[in-house]
Amino acid sequence: SAIYLKDYKVPPFLIDKTELTFDLDEATTIVTSRLHMRRNPAFGKSTAPLILDGGEDVKLIGVAMDDYALPPEEYRISEDKLIITATADEFVLTCETLIEPQNNTRLEGLYRSSSMFCTQCEAEGFRHITYYLDRPDVMSVFTTTIIADENRYPVMLSNGNEVERGKTDEGKTVVVWHDPFPKPAYLFALVAGDLAVKNDVFTTQSKRDIKLQIFTEAHNLDKVDYAMEALKRSMRWDEETYGREYDLDIFMIVAVDDFNMGAMENKGLNIFNSSCLLASPETTTDDTYLRVEAIVAHEYFHNWSGNRVTCRDWFQLSLKEGFTVFRDQTFSADMHSETVKRVEDVSFLKTAQFAEDAGPMAHPVRPASFIEISNFYTLTVYEKGSEIVRMIHTLLGAEKFRAGSDLYFDRHDGQAVTCDDFIAAMQDASGFDLSQFKRWYSQAGTPIVKVKDSFDEATGTYRLTMLQDTPATPGQPTKLPLHIPVRVGLLDEQGNALSAELNGVAAKDHVLHLQSSEQEFEFSGLAAKPVPSLLRGFSAPVKLHYDYSSKDLLLLLSSDTDGFNRWSASQQLAVNELTTLINQAIEGKKLSFDSQLVHGFKTLLNDETLDPAMVALILALPSQAYLSELANPIYPAAIKQARQHLKSQLAHALSADFERVYREHKIQGEYQATAKDIAHRSLKNIALSYWVETNSELAQQELVAQFQTANNMTDQFAALSIAVNSQHKQAAELLAAFYEQWKEEPLVVNKWLMLSASQEQERALATVKGLMEHPAFDLKNPNKVRSVLGGFGQSVTGFHKADGSGYHFLADQIILLNKRNPQIASRLCTPLTRWKKLQPELSVKMKSELERILAEDLSKDVYEVISKSLA
């Protein structure tokens, strides 16, 4: 049954103080809560019963009101709720509950990972710990007492500051933590285990010393230095960029191996999936280094955008997530390269978020309803949500945006608020009218912007006509025009940037405000028809169509001052060429095409003034996933074949250039995760991937040599991936050697699992079944499940096998995980939700698997995704 935004009501009760005691034990954990409650004056006068949220895994031992133990007739339990009919206006409710963290396979609430206890309470995990008002607009001051055997759990952590330590009569250790900042239960955290710690100190702008601690299992302590430095950079950046200083005296991070998501921003005690925290040159690739830095920053930034100012209800999730993603993206751009970061983020958005927006789970950034909130931690809420904040930044300009964020934090500190409150602060501080713009929060689907142009020689006027239209999405058949900022520049035939006048303002770069379904923009002062550079920096999350010639695209690729659009032009050119090839493949024709990209690539490979990272990004052909998003229907094998054909053509035409670039960009010396070194490695490795396509014996040998001698995981894993993807004759041998070398490092083994599962081969399905029986596999560990099944989804021969056995296998795994870990099971459904877009023969096979899953007794998580997919 669905929950609707329009039904929101303030809570009938408040909890001013929450006192929790955890008696931790391997068999049963006893949780005692003392909740200092009162009726909420904002709710109005009422005699409404007290209804607390719980879970079927929480056993109630006893409940008391102001120390009067309630007899069974004075309360009842119905559908996971604890209902108490008669209450005073103000009282202390004491609840004693029993839970079994060791049997918690959902990884929500309190659970065990390796030998430690840890928690994940967002969004609704706290109710699996004890009965509570588990909603983000109930904010409370928490005091947490942890009782445990110090020999097994020498480290016992919770939010805030440690205020007391002692012993029980039985000799167990007691530690008390107090967090002075009121917070919702989803930010509660507890950790107990035998952990090693790295200590550091950060001195804030106002000269307060903050104690920093990162905890891991002892054998991983040598992999936290990078995260610690990233944390300090984040703290400094938030002071400088947003004026936000840290507020407690201590900030802790704990790495755990079993975690459903990336990481969690619990107040003062962030908990991370170890894959998003640990890093060392030998075991971690460049991508992962950047990801660790971004996630450390993201969780840290939540201290203000999420914790000090939190969400009123879960429909407002993007209030904290969209804004915080925008903050972490800007941070990473500042630490490295703005253009490279933008290309990576946009590429991801256009591949994965656009696909979500075009599928059965499409929803607005602020959803209007949901069945299970865990299903709405989506690319739309996070990434498109960030694009909304970025557009506000574009519309207001940096200075007024900062005034807006200052006002937002100031006005709402300590409150649980809505996306409307965020917009209101931005509008009030800037005077900029955002009333139409707000529709971005409530309208699902990716807008399509069609652009036509004309030039009037007599007056020197260039006219752009723009039409916008947002396609229908489930539950939203018609859409209103959005306020879309379109950043535009104009180039002459030689590629020079032109200054042109728009509404009396002359500039080389303009932001157009597209606000109607059709609108014209007139530029004057031009000598000839220019080539437009449209949607610079991807100024809005839309699909823009303009009929560029290959010549125009090559000009933009070589000359645009907007680095992002140079990349974008190369992608468009490649998409155009690949589309022709894909159609040939679908029709069963022999593939043949005279690629224009050869010329563009040749110039790039010989231009030493360019950032090698940008060259590498331009050389990467549009992915299988992105081409699938563009296609309708999707012919997976045809896309694969077309990409392969174009790559091979480019490789043969430019083989000498690729070989030279491969050699020129080898780095000597120690590994460093700096933008500069990462750039050289990425260009070198993509050059190698092309060079190997020519079947040159020398290239094959170079690849093996790189695999064997690399002093870092980036180069070693690049060599291995290229070997696997190019069906190198030694691929199997290298894969085996890699496992042998790294079998003691779980995070590296996960990469091996993923690559092994993604192989294109006739027996792909047998391979993946073998991997799930492999000693390195563990169904309880979400990272391993994601590696194997995520990798398998990339294998066209495996997953999209014509007889449907790949889909059948994935469906079996979803059914297996459905009850055990509903969040993971639900996420595994994503590839199946695309069934309507698949080529007809595959589409029916996918659909019947969805129907087979729907016939099972499903968790809310899986039920929502599957039923909406079939609707």
Pairing state of beta strands 29-39 and 90-99? antiparallel
Q: How many CA atoms lie within 13 A of 835 on its CB side?
A: 23
Under DSSP, the state recorded for 384 is: I
Q: How far is CA 328 from CA 238, 285, 295, 535, 686, in A?
A: 10, 20, 8, 22, 27
Q: How many residues at the interface with Zn ion, by CB under 5 A?
A: 2
The partner in contact with residue 377, picked from ligand ARG, Zn ion, none with C-beta cut-offs of 5 to 8 angstroms by kind, is: ligand ARG
Residue closer to ligand ARG, measured from CB, 263 or 278: 263
3 state DSSP class of 13: strand
User: What is the 8-class DSSP label of residue 124?
Assistant: T
Query: What is the closest distance, in whole angstroms, from the C-beta atom of residue 181 to ligand ARG in the complex?
Result: 17
**Spatial contact of 325 and 385, defined as CB atoms under 8 Å apart:** yes
Residue 796 CA to its chain's centroid (Å) = 24
Provide the Cα torsion 769, 771, 776, 780; round to 10°.
Answer: -40
Q: Are residues 840 and 822 in contact, defined by beta-carbon separation less than 8 angstroms? A: no
Nearest approach in angstroms of CB 294 to ligand ARG is: 11
The least distance separating Zn ion from the CB of residue 303, rounded to whole angstroms, comes to: 11
Q: Closer CB to Zn ion, residue 326 or residue 690? A: 326
Cβ proximity to Zn ion: between 136 and 791 the closer is 136
Q: What is the CA radius of gyration of the chain?
A: 28
CA 866/CA 871 separation, integer angstroms: 9
Residue nearest to ligand ARG (CB): 377
Active site residue 299: yes
CA distance 52 to 18: 14
Nearer Cβ to ligand ARG, position 176 or 349?
Answer: 349
- Selection from ligand ARG, Zn ion, none that 285 binds (CB < 5 to 8 A by kind) is none
Cα–Cα distance between 103 and 153 in angstroms, integer? 19
Nearer to ligand ARG, 261 or 333 (CB): 261
Residues in the chain: 871
Beta-carbon contacts of 656 under 8 Å, excluding residues fewer than 6 positions away, are none
Scan residues 268-327 and list those touching Zn ion (CB under 5 A): 321, 324
Answer with the entry of ligand ARG, Zn ion, none that 745 interacts with (C-beta below 5 to 8 A by kind): none
CB 701 within 8 A of CB 730: no
Q: At CA 816, angle to CA 58 and CA 131, rounded to 5?
A: 15
CB 651 within 8 A of CB 658: yes
**Residue 144's binding partner out of ligand ARG, Zn ion, none, with CB under 5 to 8 Å set by partner kind:** none
Of 145 and 260, nearer to ligand ARG (C-beta) is 260
> Among Zn ion, ligand ARG, none, what does residue 374 contact (CB within 5–8 Å per kind)?
ligand ARG
CB of 750 to ligand ARG, least distance (A): 20
Name the β-bridge partners of 23.
30, 147
The residues, ordered by sequence, that sit 6+ positions from 277 with a Cβ below 8 Å of its Cβ are 214, 216, 224, 227, 253, 255, 263, 292, 295, 296
Among 633, 649, 636, 631, residue whose Cα is nearest residue 579: 631
**Shortest distance (Å) from residue 367 CB to ligand ARG:** 14
- Which of 397, 437, 396, 432 is closest to 420 using CA atoms? 437
Give the Cα separation of 846 and 634 in Å (integer).
13
Out of 108, 217, 293, 299, the active site residue is: 299
CB closer to Zn ion, 20 vs 264: 264
Cβ-proximal residues to 666 (8 Å cutoff; 6+ apart), any chain: 680, 684
Residues lying near ligand ARG in the complex (CB under 6 A): 122-123, 260-261, 263-265, 298-299, 321, 374, 377, 823
Q: Which residues contact 394 (CB under 8 A, 6 or more apart)?
A: 485, 487, 511, 539
CA-nearest of 565, 658, 541 to 606 is 658
Q: Residue 319 or residue 810: which is nearer to Zn ion going by CB?
A: 319
Q: Which does 123 bind (CB under 5 to 8 A by kind): Zn ion, ligand ARG, none?
A: ligand ARG
Give min distance, CB of 382 to ligand ARG, in A. 7
The distance of closest approach from Cβ of residue 206 to ligand ARG in the complex, given in angstroms and rounded to an integer, is: 27
Nearer to ligand ARG, 265 or 344 (CB): 265
Q: Which long-range contacts (CB under 8 A, 24 or more apart) does 342-348 make?
A: 342/537, 342/538, 342/564, 343/564, 343/567, 343/614, 343/617, 344/617, 345/383, 346/538, 346/564, 347/617, 347/626, 348/383
Shortest Cβ 320–ligand ARG spacing (Å)? 7
Q: Which is nearer to ligand ARG, 380 or 823 (CB)?
A: 823
Smallest gap from Cβ 262 to Zn ion, in A, equals: 8
Nearest approach, Cβ of residue 302 and Zn ion (Å): 6
Strand partners, 34: 19, 94
Using CB under 5 A as the criterion, which residues of the chain lie in contact with Zn ion when the complex forms?
321, 324
> Residues with catalytic annotation?
299
